[in-house]
Structure 1
Amino acid sequence: MSWYSARTAAAARRAPRRRPVRLAAALTAAAAGFSLVVGHPALATGKAAPAPTPVTRAALAPSLVAGRGADVPFVEQEAEAARTNGTVIGPERTAYTLPSEASGRSAVRLKPGQYVEFTLPRAANALTVRYSIPDAPGGGGITAPLDIAVNGKRHTSTTLTSQYAWLYNQYPFSNDPRADLLHPDWWITECGCVPSATTPTPVIDKPFRPSHFYDERRVKLSRTYRAGDTVRLTAPTGTKAAWTVIDLLDSERVDAPHLERNAANVLAFGADPTGRRDSADAIDRAVAAAKKRHLKVYLPPGTYQVDRHIVVDDVTIVGAGNWHTTVKGHQVTLDTPAPDGSVHTGVGFYGKDAADGGSHDVHLSGFAIEGDVRERIDTDQVNAVGGAMSDSTIDGLYLHHTKVGLWFDGPMKNVRVTRNIITDQIADGLNFHKGVTDSLVAHNFVRNTGDDALAMWSQEQQDARNTFSRNTIQTPVLANGIAVYGGTDNDVTGNLIADPVREGSAVHVGSRFGAEPFTGRLRITDNTTVRAGTYELNWKIGLGALWFYALDKDIDADIQVTGDHFLDNTYNAIMLVSDFPVKDKYKIENVRFKDIRVDGTGTSVLSARTAGSASFENVDARNVGAVGVNNCGAFNFPATGSEFTVEDRGGNDGGGTAGPWLAAWELPATITCDDRPPVVPPPAPGTW
């Protein structure tokens, strides 16, 4: 049993089970009207209507995150709160386990013949099922059916796959469970939470560090069903999968296909909407014709096979909607590596390289891009959207199974990335790399990335005056929800970030990866994090939900953290740290925290493991599991006090098991260092 499950069990013996009961009760009350629907079949027969399945956002009551995160067309319902004859797994936050990568850290495991059943909260004609099934014994995945019944009648069956899941071993990972260590010369860190792992020299037990278990499947229904109708997902008795885990169901009502009349229709240029023939050349011809005639390019409903990049510049490409139009491609091995190091190509819409002037006035909207990326090769350009695109918009796309959803290499400016759904990526969801400026990323939904979900990386040139606003991020398997590496005058505001799995945080501010130094200002405002702060394998400590890290340079800019809510923190709410080899060289100075709420920490509100300073004003905390300020400074422990100074600007209230979180005796630089304090699992967050 892991530390988290053991302590959760201990807490359960002291108090009633909190998480499932409180969540279900609160959300059932919020959704109570859903079963009282005129014409519902249960009412017509006189039978009692089924109990409503709670509606959540990031596995929380929607009221707890109101006004934060993306506005999305679907509603989320967690399987562990639905009716089932399967087994609820979790809650569990230890990496390399199925519950740890589930939304809300719980899911439902079905044996063949078992089901989980949801009650629709509103009319829907489309479903997204987040699931996991086993890998093939030798890797590479399997397929398995899933039956879907509505109101007790079989509606359809869909095919699940694990071909895009199940990675193993060290970064950059392998999809071969039998592989030896990829880099035997690298520093290997072990911990008790790694299943079946032993000291890696001379051998390791295999598979080693399995991760990235989940995928999702979109299913269109034959008609629109009403609020109160039931959707049952069943693992059929004939399935090849020994088990099927269902994490959640997203349901929505999809509009009729969008029609763009005055446009260059790709069908007129030979594109095949059945996906049988490659349509890349036809789309190129449509793009060329549209540019000459100043028209948009239209992708009607259908699936278009494209196995290479479509290079776009000064063009608008519009689909019929991301449920209706799909551009899908195989990953293709190149005969010889490309100049940029790529050994594969695949489907993607790319601006021209910044060194060649980049692209301008590119507008992509209303279609899905389905890739075929099953392993991480960092030199490969197999992203859904890439290159440099200034003065451009990316809106309403569904990006699935590519390496990175959107990777922009600047310098470039003024791109707006809005209302996209980015899921099941091998690496990042979006990365602004090398001098992306004056750009906006807003109302995007990002789930199950294999690296940072959203990142600004100021390598070689500063990312400047960019805003990440009102995005929802769930279950990044590796690294962070939102990461800012250097830059100037950037904003991270109004985002909802949940369940980072390992070696990262919900929000990360890092002087690392060769980034340019932080200058100007950085604002981290009105964000909500939940169940964040992971176990760092190299350091063997828990990270904060908000993590500042000085590795390459000082962090000394105008940084303000205001109005943020840190909920159900696995370890610390806030961590500021310098790596031990540079602890006497780099520091983190003058970070200002104001109007913050902290609801539940496994350990402290603040963990300071660096030289520097921070101020706190109107920071309210409750359910704090350890001393409020864990101040280790730079670990020199001078008699004069810690090398990290904490300033109390007033209005800091609340605390937990060790008393007030910010007490007079802790100020300004009292050494309160407990390098690895005991962890107390916090209760589920509630109304403030």
Structure 2
Amino acid sequence: MPRSTLTAALLAAAVACGLLAPPASATSAGSAAPVVTRAALDPALVAGRGATVAFAEQEAENAVTSGTVIGPDRTAYTLPAEASGRKAVRLAPGQHVEFTLPARANAITVRYSIPDAPGGGGITAPLDVTVNGGRRTTMTLTSQYAWLYNQYPFSNDPGAGLLHPDWWITECACVPSATTPPPVIAKPFRPNHFYDEQRLLLGRTYRAGDRVRLTVPAGSKAEWTVIDLLDSELVGPPKIEPRAANVLAFGADPTGRRDSARAIDQAIAYAKRKGLKVYLPPGTYQVNRHIIVDDVTITGAGNWYTIVKGREVALPAPAPDGSVHTGVGFYGRPASEGGSRDVHLSDFAIEGDVRERIDTDQVNGIGGAMSDSTIDGLHIRHTKVGMWFDGPMANLRITNNIIVDQIADAINFHTGVSGSRVSNNFIRNTGDDALAMWSEKSANTGNTIDHNTVQTPVLANGIAVYGGTDNTISGNLVADPIREGSALQVGSRFGAEPFAGRLDITGNTTVRSGTYELNWNIGLGALWFYALERDISADIRVTGNDFLDNTYNAIMLVSEWSVKDLYAIDGVHFKDIRVDGTGASVVSARVKGSATFENVDARNVGAVGVNNCGSFGFPATGSEFSLADRGGNDGGWLAPWLLPNTITCDDRPPVVPPPAPSPW
């Protein structure tokens, strides 16, 4: 495609995203009272759910601005849809957005988007930061880690043709390779993954009520800059470890100019001989490969101060596992070699350089197998997966980490992980499942994912469980999944071992969830059960969850059409559930099987309370999916449908946007 044509196409895509509309009139230049949110909601609505974090979240649409609010919009491939709360602020050069600090702070995080380069690869652009009109600091924003296009596993080239012309394409309702003449598919095709974020230490502590202004300089080459939110934080002083193997003593370079991998290896070897920790003082350490860890404690000065940063490096030949690149990461030994034990990583940041998705690449922040280990207080961004573990392994604790801007998952327990816990982590802007337990080849057993916050996974699910035995998902907050996924998924797919024992899904809150499934052309549920490769028939207890502002359905149980008569979902028990707002139904059943409901309260339901299609056989005896009423189900959503198995099937019911959630 000629460059001028491609530029026009990118501009057209931006118009479709609602970014190039005429700017709104400037609002008052005065300060506004700070509006602090969690997942873009009043914190009272999600109290007790998700991670406890050190920062205060403020949405740009609630701040004072001379720019334009974009959204709300939940349509995939648009900038508002990928924004927290489905709104953001667009700034043209010369415009600003100003936040009033709700508490003392000396550091901020800015989540933003700027355009891609016309031919892909990203651009950089300045953003000025002032507090109370004082000294100006200029951040350099980049889109080099954003803007993917096309079909899975995506492309960095906005002018690329279809990666899979033999796949079904919703946009043309066809399989292009089987169509004569081939359809014209607009480019760039399916732009996504628009946002990135940056952190900035302000150099001093400011008071509550001080005003942080973000201004796009008049000479910026970015035609627009979208600000989604500002997180403000009071960061403590650097942590010092005087009795440790200090990597500086082994030649590590805290300026980041020289590679420090060998020095860190030497510090690890010395620390293991002497029974010491390894200490990474404040600084930026260049590391362009894996650091292998076993029986060692590595700690930094805090993840704002100690940064381990590396380039993605092409390998001279593919590795045995298929990797064609390496990059910065801390890896346990492979499980096939016995794995690693007694590894403790804390209080530093990992910054990768991953800009494309190559599934065979081992370019994750943390990897390998680690038993009897802990990972605490890390900040990980721009890797493929924040943490990917291949078992068998046991007794890993992952706590208090921040993982953002990933090409794929944030954390994945893959194969035979047992007795492990993922707790109090904050995750934003993943390119696939944010948190996953994938029981491929060997079951994950006895694990817990609790009190984590997941926001804006661009593709797939907030938390996904694929098979396994006796696992628990509890106390989490999941908001704004974008497309082809749900806040929570329970799936028999991807070659997973069967569900067995008990699965508890307890005390979670989902917000603005239940996305559009592109291939099926239907809306999903905020909680999605999917029997694709086998029955789901374990003891599954869904208890005490809140499903808020559901785009389509709160709960969906489904099997794929080609196997609709083969697999069932049985033995799911719903109790003490609150559903506040659905675009469609409370429950959508597109599978055979059964479920029970007790004390499930619903309000602001957009369509029929139960959309019961069963497995689409429509027998005279009723649906192949039965619902048992165990009492206390308020809101009138369940009782009228002559339970247990009245057919109330509307394949694609009209969507009625629900009102904003409110106190119950």
TM-score (ref. length: structure 2): 0.94
Aligned counterpart, 1:44: none
Q: 1:412 aligns with which of 373, 387, 393?
A: 393
The one-letter code sitting in structure 2 at the alignment partner of 1:387 is G
Structure 1 contact 191–537 (Cα < 8 Å) conserved: no
Structure 1 contact 147–154 (Cα < 8 Å) conserved: no
Residue 664 of structure 1: how far off its partner (Å) = 3.8
Structure-2 separation of matches of 1:664 and 1:263: 68
Match of 1:653, SS state, is coil
Structure-1 separation of matches of 2:514 and 2:142: 30
Is 1:342 aligned to residue 323 of structure 2?
Answer: yes
1:213-224 → structure 2 map (5 Å cutoff): 213-224=194-205
Residue 49 of structure 1: how far off its partner (Å) = 7.8
Q: Deviations over 1:98-118 (max 9, x none)?
A: 000000000000000000000
In structure 2, relative to structure 1, the CA distance for the partners of 1:306 and 1:565 (3 Å cut) is: same
Residue 183 of structure 1: how far off its partner (Å) = 1.9
Q: 1:451 aligns with which of 432, 435, 443?
A: 432
Structure-2 separation of matches of 1:211 and 1:495: 26
Q: Deviations over 1:340-399 (max 9, x none)?
A: 000000000000000000000000000000000000000000000000000000000000
| Root-mean-square deviation over aligned CA pairs | 1.5
Structure-1 separation of matches of 2:630 and 2:134: 62
Residue 266 of structure 1: how far off its partner (Å) = 0.1
1:141-540 → structure 2 map (5 Å cutoff): 141-190=122-171, 201-540=182-521
Structure-2 separation of matches of 1:204 and 1:630: 34
Structure-2 separation of matches of 1:49 and 1:174: 44
Q: 1:567 aligns with which of 548, 551, 554?
A: 548
1:102-113 → structure 2 map (5 Å cutoff): 102-113=83-94
The one-letter code sitting in structure 1 at the alignment partner of 2:467 is G
Is 1:668 aligned to residue 649 of structure 2?
Answer: no
Aligned counterpart, 1:555: 536
Residue 199 of structure 1: how far off its partner (Å) = 11
Q: Deviations over 1:174-203 (max 9, x none)?
A: 0110111112223333279xxxxx999344
In structure 2, relative to structure 1, the CA distance for the partners of 1:49 and 1:247 (3 Å cut) is: closer
Q: Deviations over 1:58-98 (max 9, x none)?
A: 00000000110001110100000000010000000000000
Aligned counterpart, 1:87: 68
Structure-2 separation of matches of 1:200 and 1:231: 55
The one-letter code sitting in structure 2 at the alignment partner of 1:682 is P
Q: Deviations over 1:232-277 (max 9, x none)?
A: 0001101010000000000000000000111000000000000000
Structure 1 contact 561–594 (Cα < 8 Å) conserved: yes
The one-letter code sitting in structure 1 at the alignment partner of 2:410 is G
Gaps of 5+ in 1: 1-5, 7-47, 193-197, 655-659
Aligned counterpart, 1:17: none
Gaps of 5+ in 2: 1-15, 17-28, 174-178
Q: Deviations over 1:286-335 (max 9, x none)?
A: 00000000100000000000000000000000000000000000000000
Residue 216 of structure 1: how far off its partner (Å) = 0.0
Match of 2:263, SS state, is helix
Is 1:684 aligned to residue 655 of structure 2?
Answer: no
In structure 2, relative to structure 1, the CA distance for the partners of 1:137 and 1:453 (3 Å cut) is: same
The one-letter code sitting in structure 2 at the alignment partner of 1:667 is L
TM-score (ref. length: structure 1): 0.91
The one-letter code sitting in structure 1 at the alignment partner of 2:576 is D
Structure-2 separation of matches of 1:535 and 1:448: 18
Structure 2 contact 31–64 (Cα < 8 Å) conserved: no
Structure 2 contact 240–301 (Cα < 8 Å) conserved: yes
Structure-2 separation of matches of 1:372 and 1:200: 41
Count of paired positions: 633
Residue 663 of structure 1: how far off its partner (Å) = 1.8
Structure-2 separation of matches of 1:433 and 1:497: 21
Is 1:623 aligned to residue 604 of structure 2?
Answer: yes
Structure-1 separation of matches of 2:608 and 2:169: 32
Residue 487 of structure 1: how far off its partner (Å) = 0.2
The one-letter code sitting in structure 2 at the alignment partner of 1:683 is P
Structure 1 contact 175–375 (Cα < 8 Å) conserved: yes
The one-letter code sitting in structure 1 at the alignment partner of 2:259 is D
Match of 1:612, SS state, is strand
Structure-2 separation of matches of 1:274 and 1:201: 54
Aligned counterpart, 2:26: none
Structure-2 separation of matches of 1:191 and 1:162: 30
Q: 2:580 aligns with which of 575, 578, 599?
A: 599
Q: Deviations over 1:90-149 (max 9, x none)?
A: 000000000000000000000000000000000000000000000000000000000001
Match of 1:125, SS state, is strand
Identity %: 77
The one-letter code sitting in structure 2 at the alignment partner of 1:58 is A
Q: Deviations over 1:493-548 (max 9, x none)?
A: 00000000000000000000000000000000000000001000111000000000
Structure-1 separation of matches of 2:557 and 2:110: 38
Match of 2:81, SS state, is helix
In structure 2, relative to structure 1, the CA distance for the partners of 1:483 and 1:200 (3 Å cut) is: farther
Match of 1:99, SS state, is helix
The one-letter code sitting in structure 2 at the alignment partner of 1:460 is K
The one-letter code sitting in structure 2 at the alignment partner of 1:249 is L
Structure 2 contact 50–453 (Cα < 8 Å) conserved: yes
